[in-house]
Chain A
Amino acid sequence: MDWGQIFTFTAESAFGTQAMYFAIAAIGLNIHFGYTGLLNFGHAGFMTCGAYGLAIPLAGGEIWGFEWGQQAMWKGVLIGLIAAGIFGLLLGIPTLRLRADYLAIVTIASAEILRIVVRATSLRGLTGGSNGINGFTTSFQNARPSFLDDGFLGYSSRQSWVLMLGWIFVLFAVGFTYLLIHSPWGRVVKAVREDEDAARALGKNAYSVKMQSLVLGGLFGAIGGMFFVLAQGSVQPTPQDFGTPKTFFIWVAVILGGTARLWGPVIGSIMFSGLLAFTDTSLREAVRADYIPDSILDGVQVGQMRFILLGLGLMLLMVFRPQGIFGDKRELALDAR
């Protein structure tokens, strides 16, 4: 067991790309769930919108006789955001007037369907089918400032460019959320979470406010998805990348850090990414050093452990500490409806 390597890797992951895009997506989910009380179980769907919306224009392609070359970055970002906004509207229209768990069912289903659609062979020209899209980050990496050419703190030059922008965006997003939640709109959103009927009685349009929150948080989810694929350098429609587990990784990050807390999603993402990396590497090291025989756990199965940990973690958190580590029980939206 090489403890030095385990701790280095844990620390690297805690502030690495995964923690960064988790944090951005988690800020969006915190607007949904923490502040508005919306049960969005399709956050991976918003991330898919962002990721593919960015990658498709950037990579260039051809489908149904329509051809486009490699586009500028801002067009990709814009298309990704618009796609996520439309996705949010489509999810919200049928569900936001109904009981909370209908939104849960529809979001989880839509996100999974969206992943199946982008994976479809018939859309290969657009989304690359099951191969996904590669090589769309060239223009982004070409814009990298030269002082990052040697990397930073052990991260490679490519990684540190994404990381720098990502963490700056996290700071921006936290500031934005602060202003938002302390605005009149923020107070209405919280009122809807606490008691929708009361908010309506005061003349607030609860449906419209919930819809705005769903779309807004979804935009952060989409940006999280963009940073994710920029860091990864490819888009792949695998369950690990855009499936339901991804949604719940972000849920755990939000709950762990504390729902309806400004810094909760960021701290939760850092802690959770670190924790995942720690268990992952220490298990791998233990398997390699033969502390755990191959018959119990082999190299492939170590990768499955993080999902078992995810499920168990989500259950235990919800049972024993639903407000998270830094959360405030009074701000808990769990039984608003």
Chain B
Amino acid sequence: MTRLLTTTTTVRALASVAVLFFVLLGLVPAASAQAEEGVNINANFIDETTDERTPATGTVLVLLDADGAEVASTEIGDDGRAFLAAPGPGTYIVQLDEGTLPEGVRLRNEGANELEITLQAGQIRGGIFALEQGEGSGGGGSRFLSDLVSLSFSGLKFGLIIAMCSIGLSLIFGTTGLTNFAHGELVTVGALTTLFFNQSMHLVLAAIIGVAVTAAFGLMNERTIWRPLRDRGTGLIAMLVISIGLSILVRYVLLYLAGGNRRAYNDFGNQSPIDFGPLTFVQRDIFIMVIALISLVLVAFAVTYTRTGKAMRAVADNVDLAESSGIDVQRVIQTVWIGGAGLAGLGGVLFGLDQTSKWDMGFELLLLMFAAVTLGGLGTAYGPLIGSVLVGLLVNLSTITFPEWFPGIGGTGLPTELKNIGALFVLVGILLIRPQGILGRADRIG
């Protein structure tokens, strides 16, 4: 890690961040609408002796279709890039032949020699193989540290996304007592509406419409279902079951409307990687984190200082007391629904931008959201922020490969497909130790 601390690296890193922001300010150019589909692959590594980005020239890449048949193959060129033309839209797997990597170079994540990529008509997407120079025997420690840095980075990004999705969940519980199992569907609605509008317009515009639609959908939820039910005096448990019914209904209506494929947005998909010490990331990672951070800071500010925000916290604290001190509770609840749903929708867009969008993505996130909210404190305004970042970090870091010297589990790590298990352990653990969560109050847990 001394490498990180050298002045030249630091200066270069600062410069690249500066460049990055100028690129972002100039609103990254939209992907050109070419008539053919394909994948742009980047494969570079940092040369240990010169500390420079070096292309893995000559590495063989193979494009496989969904049935595993080879449809194209190429080699990484002198610029560290290669283009694989696909025969048409569909799902493909890019396979890197590890035997053809330059001498002493290996995949940063062992076994990660395949990328799954879904292409729509006329779409060109980018992919990165993270490489590093092997250090012979006993180099596991450095790899562990670089894994730690990159997994923390993606964990932080993921945590910020979960935070956006789960603030509404917590505030809706706080103000109305409803445990809303249909909250994940707000995330999906945001991502899929944006996907729909992204077919005909730029992602930024599509995302604005998507978030607005989600906020309107949240308001509709409140006005047509939850407020009438509250007025009827329907119990909280009954409402909880109803929210599950709603979740299944909305999820499968979305499947009916949008189909079952994973899909990516048309813009920002094909970006060159940026190296930053042990980190390799693309512009959109920074984009996602900055947007998430700004929205979360704005929300925290609004909840703390604005009149509505104060009213919101008052209602979450004690509905009767708030009502008797002249707060229009119904109005506050309505605001919470609009804001919470809009944030969840934006979270969905960012999640879709980071990975892909799918009809049940929100439901998959719901478990993490519940873990985050419970950890932070169900019903509180700031709890989800802390809880989400912790859950995001934990879920990503749980897949880390332990260094060889680690007693017992050296050289092994949790398979990526099992990483969400960490969230369940957080959930169960916090319920055993401190069921009200980090910021919650003990009288809430019943």
Contacts and interface: CB of A to CB of B under 8 A. Distances in A.
Interface of A: 39, 41, 90, 93-95, 98-102, 104-106, 108-110, 112-113, 116-117, 119-122, 239, 244-245, 248, 251, 301, 304-305, 307-308, 310-316, 318-319, 322, 333-337
B237 A94 contact: no
B445 A334 contact: no
Given A120-B418, A310-B245, A334-B237, 12 more contacts: A93-B432, A99-B446, A100-B237, A101-B237, A105-B427, A108-B367, A116-B421, A245-B248, A308-B253, A312-B249, A318-B241, A322-B238
Given A113-B420, A337-B446, A308 B256 contact: yes
Interface stretch (B115-123, B156-164, B228-236): B228-236
> Mostly helix, strand, loop or mixed at chain A's interface?
helix
A311 B250 contact: yes
Nearest to B228: A319
A324 to B, nearest CB: 12
Interface of B: 179, 181, 229, 234-238, 240-242, 244-253, 255-256, 360, 363, 367, 370-371, 374, 415, 417-418, 420-421, 423-424, 427-428, 431-432, 435, 444-446
A245 B181 CA distance: 13
Contact of B445 (A99, A110, A315): A99
Given A116-B421, A121-B415, A318-B245, A304 B252 contact: yes
B427 A310 contact: no
A117 B235 CA distance: 35
Nearest to A247: B244
Nearest to A99: B446
Contact of B248 (A39, A112, A119, A311): A311
Contact of A318 (B242, B249, B415, B423): B242
A335 B235 contact: yes
A312 B446 CA distance: 30
A307 B415 CA distance: 31
B431 A251 contact: no
A104 B291 CA distance: 33
Nearest to A90: B428
Contacts of A113: 367, 420-421, 424
Residue from B235, B236, B237, B432 whose CB has the most chain A CB atoms within 10 Å: B237
Nearest to B234: A319
A336 B238 CA distance: 11
7 contacts: A95-B431, A106-B431, A120-B417, A248-B248, A308-B253, A319-B234, A337-B446
9 A-B pairs with least C-beta separation: A311-B249, A99-B446, A314-B245, A311-B248, A335-B235, A315-B245, A307-B252, A94-B431, A109-B367
Contacts of A251: 241
B371 A98 contact: no
Contacts of A39: 237, 240
Nearest to A91: B428
Nearest to B371: A109
Contacts of B250: 311
Contact of B418 (A102, A117, A305): A117
B248 A310 contact: yes
A336 B420 CA distance: 32
A99 B240 CA distance: 13
Contacts of B371: 109
B234 A98 contact: no
A38 to B, nearest CB: 11
A308 B256 CA distance: 9
Contact of A311 (B237, B240, B246, B427): B246
Nearest to A336: B237
A308 B238 contact: no
Contacts of A102: 374, 431, 435, 445
Nearest to A312: B249
A39 to B, nearest CB: 7
Residue from A100, A314, A336 whose CB has the most chain B CB atoms within 10 Å: A314
A321 to B, nearest CB: 11
